[in-house]
Structures are given as structure tokens and as C-alpha cells.
Structure 1
């Protein structure tokens, strides 16, 4: 398949720019497969024709063999009739010779037909090998085409992704991240400052009450006084 040798050379020559020119090898491969399918159709037609010739030659061989045998039997019957007196010896010899001549002619035709049949059989075998090879090549290249198309999709996706990544301004992205980081730090510091201001607004009494938890102490005293008024004093021993 010289076509595919040329196809591979084209692929090697375009290796450095495969992403940009990958469609051309695909089109060439598709055309090559179409050509092989056309060759397969022609090979099948030729195979059918040669098979028909082989069948015909075999049939003729059998027919000539049957004729030769028939003339042989006729010659023998004529000679027997001469012995029985049904046919004159001279006439019997003449007719028997004619029958044997016909037998030889049929035998010669049988030999030629047998040679033709053998030749056609060899041609059929060769054509069948060619057909099988073309079928295998078609199957092989259809699989290769599927793989090539899949590689195109992956290559295009990778190319587009890399292009997008290349178009991103890395310096502006880093700058934006730095500004965001600075703002977060500023907000954290501001929150801490507001906390300090809130703590600084408390009086000393607030700090003392917070430390002693005066609300709970006052509530305990009030509860004790209420129990005393109601005569509900504590446990007496």
C-alpha cells in the first residue's frame, strides 16, 4: 500500500505542527479507506467471475470425460456386434475407429479443461487471499482513523486549555490576591481595634462587678431575706 507509506511520510514531516494540520491526515486516511473499499468491490467482482470460470471448466472436464468413456463403450459394442454377425467386420472396424477418434478428441478436450480448471483454481485462491488482505487493511485503517480522530479531540481540548492558561495575566492575578490578603488583614486589625475600644469604655465599677458577679450575689441575698420573711428559714439541727 504505497498510499499509506506516503501518508506516514506526510505525518512525519508535519510532526512539529500536528495540532494545526491534523485534519489533513484524517482526510487522507478517509480517502484511502474509500479507495480500499473500491478495490475490495472490484476484487470481489473479479473473484466471482474467476470462480464462475473455474466451475465451468470443471463441469466441461466432467462432460468430456463422460464423452470419452461413452465413445469407448460404443467402440466396444460395435466390435461385439461384428463378432455376433450383426455388423460386417469391415463396417465394424470403420465405425469403431471413428468412435475411438472421437474418444481421443474428448480426452484431449478433457485434458485442456482440467488444465484450465487448475489454473482458475489457483487464480481463485490468489484472489481470495487478496480480498482477505484488503478486508484486514480496511478494518485496520478504520481503527486507526478512530484513534486519530480521538487524538484530534484531545489535542484540540489541550490546545484550547493551554491557550486560555497562556492568556491569563499572572502578574495581575498575583496582585489581586495580594490586595485581597491586605484587605483581610486590615479587617482583622480593625475588628481587634473595636474590641479594644469596647473594653476601654468600661468603668472600674463595671470591672469589679464583672469580677464579683454582683448580680448573682444580690439575687442570693434577696432570696435569703424572702425566706426569712416567710418563716422559711434554713434547716435546723
Structure 2
């Protein structure tokens, strides 16, 4: 992975981390996109410098080729003119340029390969940023959906905690009902026991409370007393 890809990935990771904590995802995503654009622009400037160096090396290489060819032609002209010594000197100069040309050729090939690779990385970064821009709305929607889901679970948790209050109310209601039943039982028991008095007297009082015996019953009672001599 090139230095530019690493820079882009680090920025992308930072943006993802920010998304996890942000309140307004659209604002943070717009800032992340601006940061990516800035990173790509800086990367392009660096690549432009590399391209300029590669072009300069290529120009020097072409110049050395031309010089080599020129001195070879001069050597040929000197040899045709019968000046062999001058031809040798011209060939020596051509050799010097050929040596420089060989060194520059190696440098240029290396620089060109590096520039081609950097160009690919710039294109890749641009594609990744374009994809990021296309998916911005989707990422925002996902973030909001996750927040809604979180809110739902928190609401459920609060409702679950409120069950404690419901349980307390149910227990208090059951206790009140029990006390009501106990009060009814106490009343019933009080009526049965008569408050601790003579049960027989209570019974006769109850008979008296019924409005008194009938005339027929009184006549029979008088006859019973006469028979027993208790009248």
C-alpha cells in the first residue's frame, strides 16, 4: 500500500470513528469529504513534483542521446577527411555521452514506473472518495437508524424498570383486599360471639325484638302457668 493510500485509509478510519460519536452525521460526513478532497489535492501536488523530475530526467536523456549521435557523426566526417586522430577524439566524446545516457536511462525508467504507480494511486483515491460521496446519504440513514434502535432499547429498558413500581402497586392492592376480608371476618365473628354476654339472654332479647309473642302464644303460656301452679 502506497503512502497516499495509507493517508486516505487513516482519514477514513478517523471519519468512521467520528461518525460513531457524532450527533449530526451529515455535518461530520461533509467535513470528512472536505478533508479527503484536501488530502487528494496535497497528494497530487507531490505527484506533480515527481512527474516534473521524471520529465527533466527524460529531457536530459534525450539530450545525451543527441550529443552521442552528433559526436559519432563528427567522427565519421573526420575519418572521411583522413583525420583519424580527430575521429578518435570525437568517438571518445561520444562514449562519454553514451555513459551518461546509460545512467540517465536507468534513472528515467525507475522514475517513470514510480510516477505511473502514483498516478494509479491518485485515481484510486479519487474513486474511493467518489464512492464515499455516493454512499453519504446511506451512511447518514444507517447512523440515524442505529440511533433510533438505541432509543427503542433504552425506552424498553425504562419500561422494564417501571415494572418494579407495578409490582409494588399490585402488592399494596392485595394487602388492602386482605385487610378488607379480615375486617369482614372480625365483624362476622363479633356478631356470632355477641360481644362476650349471656347467649341465652341475647336469645330472649332477640325474641323480644321480634315484636312480642302472638295472642295465641300468650294464652298457651297462661294455661301452662296455671297447670304448673305458677300463675
TM-score, normalization by structure 2:
0.52
Structure 1 segment 1-237 matched on structure 2, within 5 A: 1-8=9-16, 22-23=22-23, 25-82=25-82, 92-150=83-141
Q: CA deviation at 1:126?
A: 1.4
CA distance in 2, matches of 1:77, 1:4: 65
Closer, same or farther: CA 24–2 of 1 in aligned 2, 3 Å: farther
Q: CA deviation at 1:124?
A: 1.3
* Match of residue 196 from structure 1: none
Closer, same or farther: CA 45–6 of 1 in aligned 2, 3 Å: closer
Unaligned runs of 5+ in 1: 15-20, 83-91, 164-237
> Does the CA contact (< 8 Å) of 2:57 and 2:104 recur in 1?
yes
Give secondary structure in 2 for the equivalent of 1:72.
helix
Q: CA deviation at 1:7?
A: 4.4
Query: Deviation string for 1:156-206 (max 9, x for gaps)?
Result: 9998xxx9xxxxxxxxxxxxxxxxxxxxxxxxxxxxxxxxxxxxxxxxxxx
Query: Deviation string for 1:94-147 (max 9, x for gaps)?
Result: 322221121011111211221222122112111111111211121122123222
Q: CA deviation at 1:154?
A: 7.1
Give secondary structure in 1 for the equivalent of 2:81.
helix
Q: CA deviation at 1:152?
A: 6.3
Aligned length: 145
